[in-house]
C-alpha cells in the first residue's frame, strides 16, 4: 500500500512539474510577442500569398516567385472568430480555397490617400464601346479553367485591373478571344 501511495504522489508531482513547465514556456514565448491584429466583420484585409505562390506562377514559366506580390486583395471579412484568431474572407474567384485564415496571414487594408500621394493612384482603364453600343473590357490573359455543367469556364484577368477583379466567364462569352487561343495552345502543348 505504501508503494502505491508513493507512486501516486510521484505521478502527481510529475503532473505539477509539467504544468509549471508549460506555464513558464508560455510566459517566455508571449513576453516578446506583439499583440495580433483583431478584425471585425466588414473590414477589408490583404491576404498573404506565402502559401499560394503556385497559383500565381501556374502555367507561366516566365513568372518568378521573387516578383509576385506579397499580399493579395483587398478581401472583405464575412465571419470573425477572434478567440481562435480565425477570420473568414469573401473569396469570390477562388471557390476551391478554404476561406478561413489565421490572423497572422492577414494585414489591414489601407486605402491610398490620393491627396497625399497623387502619383500612386491606380487608374483602371475604362471600357471600350463597341459599334453596337455595348461595353467591353480588354482581357490580359486567362489564368485558369474549370468544368461547369456541360461546358467550361475560364478565369479572366483584365488589363489594368488587380487580381481582385478576376472573373470566371463561360466559353460562349469568349468567342474570338486571342487570350483564349493562347490559353488553349499552351494547355494543348502541356497535355
Q: Distance (Å, rounded) from C-alpha 135 to C-alpha 100? A: 35
Instruction: Give the tens place of pLDDT for each residue, 145-177.
Output: 888 878 888 888 887 777 778 888 888 888 778
Instruction: Give the tens place of pLDDT for each residue, 3-53.
Output: 899 999 999 999 999 999 999 998 988 887 777 778 899 999 998 888 777
Burial 22-32 (b: 16+ CB within 10 A, else e): eeeeeeeeeee
The per-residue pLDDT of the chain, averaged, comes to 81
SS3 sequence, 31-84? HCCCCCCCCCCCCEEEEECHHHHHHHHCCCCCCCHHHCCCEEEEEEEEEEEHHH
- Asked whether the predicted pLDDT for residue 191 surpasses 50, the reply is no
Q: Quote the pTM value.
A: 0.50
Q: What is the CATH number of domain 135-190?
A: 2.40.50.40
Query: φ, ψ for residue 151 (rounded to 5)?
Result: -130, -160
Q: Distance (Å, rounded) from C-alpha 15 to C-alpha 34? A: 30
> C-alpha angle with apex 166: 39 to 189, nearest 5 degrees?
130
Q: Distance (Å, rounded) from C-alpha 62 to C-alpha 33? A: 39
Q: What is the DSSP string of 149-170?
A: TTEEEEEEEETT--GGG-EEEE
CA 121 to chain centre: 23
What residue spans define the domains of the chain? 44-108, 135-190
Amino acid at each position: 500500500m505504501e508503494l502505491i501511495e508513493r507512486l501516486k504522489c510521484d505521478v502527481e508531482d510529475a503532473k505539477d512539474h509539467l504544468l509549471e513547465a508549460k506555464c513558464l514556456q508560455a510566459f517566455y514565448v508571449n513576453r516578446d510577442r506583439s499583440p495580433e491584429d483583431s478584425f471585425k466583420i466588414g473590414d477589408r484585409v490583404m491576404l498573404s500569398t506565402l502559401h499560394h505562390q503556385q497559383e500565381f506562377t501556374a502555367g507561366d514559366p516566365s513568372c518568378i516567385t521573387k516578383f509576385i506580390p506579397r499580399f493579395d486583395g483587398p478581401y472583405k471579412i464575412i465571419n470573425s472568430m477572434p478567440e481562435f484568431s480565425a477570420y473568414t474572407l469573401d473569396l469570390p474567384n477562388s471557390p476551391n480555397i478554404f476561406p478561413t485564415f489565421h490572423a497572422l496571414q492577414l494585414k489591414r487594408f489601407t486605402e491610398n490617400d490620393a491627396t497625399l500621394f497623387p502619383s500612386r493612384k491606380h487608374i483602371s482603364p475604362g471600357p471600350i464601346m463597341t459599334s453596337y453600343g455595348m461595353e467591353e473590357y480588354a482581357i490580359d490573359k486567362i489564368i485558369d479553367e474549370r468544368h461547369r455543367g456541360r461546358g467550361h469556364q475560364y478565369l479572366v484577368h483584365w488589363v489594368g485591373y488587380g487580381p481582385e477583379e478576376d472573373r470566371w466567364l463561360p466559353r460562349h462569352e469568349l468567342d474570338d478571344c486571342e487570350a483564349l487561343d493562347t490559353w488553349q495552345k499552351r494547355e494543348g502543348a502541356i497535355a
